[in-house]
Chain A
Amino acid sequence: MDHRWPLAGAAVTQVLDRVTDGAVTLPGNGSDIERPRPVTTVDLDVLLRRVGSRDAEAFAALYDATRSRVYGMVTRVLRDRGYSEETTQDVYLQVWRTAESYDPASGSALAWLLTLAHRRAVDRVRAEHAAGQRDARYGAVTADRPTDHVSDEVIAGEERQRVAACMEGLTDLQRECLELAYYQGLTYVQVSERLSANLATVKSRMRDGLRGLRNCLGVG
């Protein structure tokens, strides 16, 4: 068996610890002196399983620990505040309703959640597109990133920089394929049309890009 893509390990755990730090930080406390510290080590997998047994407190804690990631990703895909709020709400409602189906053997709780959120965001982008309601902004190849990043307390700035650096390490074509597919909701066939590249090229660039990111980020 070729295990070139083993399960994410320490890197994700490290990220989750940071997420957890943020969950107990009061936003806007204005104090840099006292660093936020986790009251307890909250394990998202454990929280998600508690949500599966209808634990509303666990749901609130899971939301607080993950909301900035989910909302940020959804906003980057949808680029509309109203759509993003609705979709984020639907994502977490789906979490509440389907958490019981989460299987830790299939990956981390964070990956499960973001996969679910991305699926819904992509569905929404495609639905808006199909309905002809898609704003011209969606057509732009280069997306405007959300600029109101107020969650530096939640996601450490160094992590943001690390991801940005790893993205920079990709080739333009790899990065463009990921941008169009993951953040603009295009299918890989549409990506190949948009870039006038053949399908095999697009598939291999996507795969190489993901592999580069994974290695750079130390996932697995």
Chain B
Amino acid sequence: MSQPHSPSADLLELAVPYALHALSDDERDTLEGRVVAAGSAVADAFYDEVRAVRETMAVVSGSDATEPPADLRRRLLAAIADDNVRVLPSKPRRRTAWMSAAAALAIGITAAGIGLWIRPPAPQPSTAQQVFAAADVHTISGAIPAGGTATVVFSRDRNAGVLVMNDVPPPAPGTVYQMWLISDGATTSAGTMDAEAVAPSTTAVLDNLGDSTKLAFTVEPGSGSTRPTGPLIAELPLL
């Protein structure tokens, strides 16, 4: 249906640069908006072409195949064994399982937009309930420079905490906020929050505080990193 000079032609000719990640982040975001606005026929044609490019490059990847160091496999399998972060699909599914009513009431927020899933499903009572019920419950709150506040309610006895973020602006597209528990010389990922998860309020359970003394926030690409690589946006002392 698309003619060479139809209004959609300039959108379609950007499908290849889009599929090859050859647009700036701003251009990409603008383009995605224009494709949606152009209607389903144009969007279908656009994403058909994107898909074809990506399938082609998947085949091309065979020509550069190079065996990674064997140690990488060992590290990865160890990393996933300990990894409790689960980024849910964009379409909401099953996202209220662990967020106990007690925690929501105690903090006075709704459970909207939770982008984290902590494994295994919360036993009874939930981690959040245990934290709030703990004799040594502490609360630390700090302003995020970009806007909003982060509050951690935690218990050393329970070795866990609940993080609440209010009115924090969402991370830039293609990035997430990642939380890090920092102890003497060690930095451990405590989960990520994507744009959908951040607004307007977010909670996350921090399992296994260990001997961490700080909770730090960085901006990381994709779904997060194995160690902090992006800018530090805030730090809360867990003392």
Contact = CB atoms under 8 A, between A and B. Distances in A.
A8 B56 contact: yes
A67 B68 contact: yes
25 contacts: A1-B41, A11-B59, A15-B58, A60-B77, A64-B73, A67-B67, A69-B64, A72-B65, A73-B64, A89-B75, A93-B76, A96-B80, A100-B86, A115-B54, A119-B222, A151-B67, A159-B63, A160-B62, A160-B63, A181-B22, A188-B22, A206-B16, A206-B22, A207-B15, A210-B56
A217 B2 CA distance: 26
B29 interface: no
Nearest to B88: A100
Contacts of A67: 67-68, 72-73
List the 7 closest A-B pairs by CB distance, nearest first. A5-B52, A8-B55, A163-B63, A72-B66, A71-B68, A72-B64, A181-B22
A142 to B, nearest CB: 15
A195 interface: no
A2 B67 contact: no
Contacts of B57: 111, 114-115, 118, 182
Contacts of B15: 207
A189 interface: yes
Contacts of A155: 62-63, 65
A210 B67 contact: no
Given A96-B83, A219-B55, A150 B67 contact: yes
A196 B80 CA distance: 46
B48 A71 contact: no
Contact of A76 (B64, B72, B76, B192): B64
Quick one: which of B1, B67, B88, B229 has the most chain A CB within 10 A?
B67
Contacts, number: 240
Contacts of B88: 100-101
A50 interface: no
Interface in B171-193: 174, 192
A43 to B, nearest CB: 15
B44 A1 contact: yes
A100 B68 CA distance: 25
Contacts of B37: none
A6 B47 CA distance: 11
A123 to B, nearest CB: 4
A96 to B, nearest CB: 5
B27 interface: yes
B66 A89 contact: no
Interface in B93-133: 119
Contact of B226 (A73, A89, A110): A89
A220 interface: yes
Interface in B194-230: 221-226, 229
Interface in A137-167: 145-146, 148-151, 154-155, 159-160, 163-164, 167
Contacts of A56: 77, 80-81
Interface string B8-21: 00000111110111
A12 interface: yes
Contacts of A100: 86-89
Quick one: which of A18, A98, A155, A213 has the most chain B CB within 10 A?
A98
A195 B54 CA distance: 24
Contacts of B225: 90
A64 B63 CA distance: 17
B239 interface: no
Contacts of B226: 86, 89-90, 93
Contacts of A54: 86, 119
A63 B21 contact: no
Contacts of B19: 115
Contact of A5 (B51, B69, B221): B51
Contacts of A173: none
Contacts of A97: 83, 85-87, 192, 223-224
Contacts of B2: 2
Nearest to B221: A123
A6 B48 CA distance: 7
A106 B51 contact: yes
